[in-house]
Amino acid sequence: MDYQVSNKAKIWTTILMIVGIVFTGIGIIAASGSGHLGQKFLGNLLSNSFFFFSIAISAMFFLALQYATESGWYAYVKRVIEAVTGFLPLGIGLLIVTFLSLTFTNGAHIYMWMDPEVMNEGGSHYDALSAGKGAYLNKPFFWVRTLAYLAIYYIMWNGFMKRSIQQDNSPELAEEIHFKNYRKGATFLVFFAVFSSTSAWDWLMSIDIHWFSTLFGWYVFAGAWTSAMVVIIILLLYLKKLGYLPKVNESHIHDIGKWVFATSFLWAYLWFSQYMLIWYANIPEETTYYLMRIEHYKLLYFGMFIINFAFPMLILMSRDAKRHAGILTFVGLVILAGHWLDVWIMVMGGSMGPTASIGFLEIGMAVLFLGLFVRVILVKLSKSPLVSKNHPFLDESLHHEI
C-alpha cells in the first residue's frame, strides 16, 4: 500500500506554518524598534535553515552508510530514510537565500569577516586578528566552497533517488544498481567526511571569528546525525501507527532506537571533550566561546546538554525502551528540541551575545520551518512506493530479528 498524505496531516502542517508566520510577524513588530531586527531575523533564519538542512543531509549520510556497508536490515524501511533526505533541495535553496542575504548586508553583524570595516586596514572597526584570516574567510572563497558543498550534495542525492526508482522499475538491473549505490555511497562518505567539518567551520564556527576548535565539525555533525535518527524513527512509528509497513517489527524499531541512543552518546562525548579540554587549558582565546554562552545562557546551555545526554541515557538504556513507540516518540521530540536549541545558541550566542533571547520571532520561525519540513518529507514519501521492491536484501530485511 502506497502512502498518501492525509487531510489531517495537511491540516496540521498548514496550522504549524500559519502559527509560525503569525508568531514571526509578532516577533518582527516587537523587535522593530530595537535596532537589531536585521541581525535577529537573519540569525534565526540561519539557525533554522542550517538545522533542518543538517537533518536531511545527515539522513543522506545514513543512507550512504547503509549502501557502503551493504547492510540488509534497513531495506524494508529504506524509503522512510529517503523521505527525510527529501528536504535537501529546499534546504539548499533556503541556505542559499540566507547566505545571499548575509552577503548583501556585509554579514549583518553575524559574519563579521564579511564587513569591510572590520577586515580592511583603516576601517572604522578594523580588527587585525580577523583580517589575518582573510585569505580563507572572504566572500568569493566562501561562495566557492559553499556552492561546491551544495552542488555535490544535490548531485549525489539526485543520483540516489533516481537509482532507487529505477531499481523498482527494472528488476533485471537490481543487482547492478545495488553495486552502483555501493560505490556511490562510499564516494559520498569520502566527500562528507571533509565537507561536514569544513561547512561547519564556514557556516557556524566563523560566526565567532576569533575562536576555533578542531572538534567543532565533528560536534556539529554528531548533533545533526542524532536529529536525523530521531526524525527517521518518529516517521517510521507514525507510518506503522497508520497501518503502513506492516512488516516492520520490533527489531527494526530497536535498531533505529539503538542509533538514537548511540549518536546521543557520541554527541555528548564530543561536547564534553571540547568543553573539558578548553576548560582545563584555560587559554583566553579558547575560553571566550564558553564564557559568552555560560555567562548569558547558563540555564539554556547546560539545560541543552542535560536534555541531549541525560534523557537518552536514562530513558533509552533498556532494550524494552528502544522498542516502545511512546517512549521513543517522547524522548525523540525532547532530543530534537534540545538539538535545535544547541544550533540556536551556536548562532545567536556568537552573533548577538547577551542581547539574544527566545521570544515570538524565535518560536515562530522554528514552528514555521518545522511545519514546512514535515510537509515536504510527507510529500516526498507519497511520490514513490513505500517499499523498495527489488532491493537484493529485501528478504533479509523482512525476516530481520535480533
Percent of the chain whose predicted confidence (pLDDT) is above 70:
100
Segments making up each domain of the chain, as ranges: 27-352
User: For 277-327, how does the pLDDT look when each residue is reduced to its tens digit (9 = 90+)?
Assistant: 999 999 988 999 999 999 999 999 999 999 999 889 999 999 999 999 999
- pLDDT tens, 165-194? 999 999 999 999 999 999 999 999 999 999
Average pLDDT over residues 129-156: 96
**Burial of 332: CB neighbours in 10 Å, binned 0-12, 13-18, 19+:** buried
pLDDT 10s digits, 336-353: 999 999 999 999 999 998
Contact 284, 325 (CB under 8 A): no
Cβ distance 274 to 213 under 8 Å?
yes
**Nearest residue to 222 (alpha-carbon basis) of 90, 99, 62, 92:** 62
Cell of 57: 543531509
Give the residue from 43, 37, 31 showing the smallest Cα distance to 107. 43
Q: How many residues are recorded in the chain?
A: 402
What lies within 8 Å, CB to CB, of 222 at 6+ separation is: 263, 266, 267, 270
Closest CA to 248 of 258, 260, 236: 236
Cα separation, 78 vs 62, in Å, equals 10
What mean pLDDT, rounded, does the chain reach? 95
Long-range contacts at 313-322 (CB < 8 A, ≥ 24 apart): 313/264, 313/265, 313/268, 316/257, 316/260, 316/261, 316/264, 317/261, 319/254, 321/257, 322/253, 322/254, 322/257, 322/258, 322/260, 322/261
Tell me the pLDDT band of 123, cut-offs 50, 70 and 90. Answer: confident
pLDDT band at 236 (very low <50, low <70, confident <90, very high): very high
Q: Output b/e per residue, 205-242; b: 16+ Cβ within 10 A.
A: bbbbbebebebbbbbbbbbbbbbbbbbbbbbbbbbbee
Angle formed at CA 257 by CA 252 and CA 261, multiple of 5 degrees: 150
Arithmetic mean of pLDDT, 389-397: 92
